[in-house]
Amino acid sequence: MVKDQQSAAISPQTPRLFGLPPLVSENTRLLVLGSFPSITSLARQQYYAHPQNQFWRILQAIFPSSPRGISAASYQERSAWLLAQGLGIWDVYASCEREGSLDTAIRQPQVNDFSGLRLRCPQLQLIAHNGGESFRHAKYTATLGLPVLKLPSTSPANASWSFERKLAAWRKAVAAAGLL
């Protein structure tokens, strides 16, 4: 008997992983949704904690008033700065099974409940999915009645896009949310 690929890729010992809480405020105008935190991000309990992920570098380049070195600041400082810009972060998946950090290894995902976002973030203008795996679930975020964009992933696994090309796409999204 042949097992399906999804079952074969995960061993019976693969634990269920649980994501991070949303990093949002009542001033959030642009919500960036990733797929699920990397192993590094889960271990540190920080969004985009992998040093090669370009998320923080891209935001620092977009916001000219950002403190120099915000990408190297403490997570608490980065989080406060991010919220002050009107940005928020969350993930599409609340939990999943996965070995490693690649989106292609995600199995048995449970999608987050987005229904309360408009109440938590009354100024929300735009949802931006950070990469293709996240964007696969745009049907859930589209029910909020807001524009939904697909952005190039900031992950180091997305080597086909240069930093400059990613930066241009992300800058456009930030401007569309009225944050520039």
CATH number of 21-176: 3.40.470.10
pTM here is: 0.90
In the prediction, which pLDDT does 1 show? 34
Residues assigned a catalytic role: 53
Q: What is the C-alpha separation between 98 and 177, in angstroms, rounded?
A: 33
Contact of 50 with 34, CB cutoff 8 Å: no
Q: To 10 degrees, the CA torsion angle through 150, 166, 174, 140?
A: 20
Contact of 75 with 46, CB cutoff 8 Å: yes
pLDDT tens for the chain, residues 1 to 180: 333 334 444 456 778 999 999 999 999 999 999 999 999 999 999 999 999 999 999 999 998 777 777 777 899 999 999 999 999 999 999 999 999 998 899 999 999 999 999 999 999 999 999 999 999 999 999 999 999 999 999 998 898 999 999 999 999 999 999 999
In the prediction, which pLDDT does 7 show? 41
Q: Which helix (H) or strand (E) holds 31?
A: strand 30-34
In the prediction, which pLDDT does 69 show? 72
Three-state DSSP at 17 gives strand
Strands 30-34 and 87-91, by their bridges, are parallel
Cross-sheet strand order for the sheet of 87-91: 87-91, 30-34, 126-130, 148-151
In the prediction, which pLDDT does 70 show? 78
In the prediction, which pLDDT does 11 show? 53
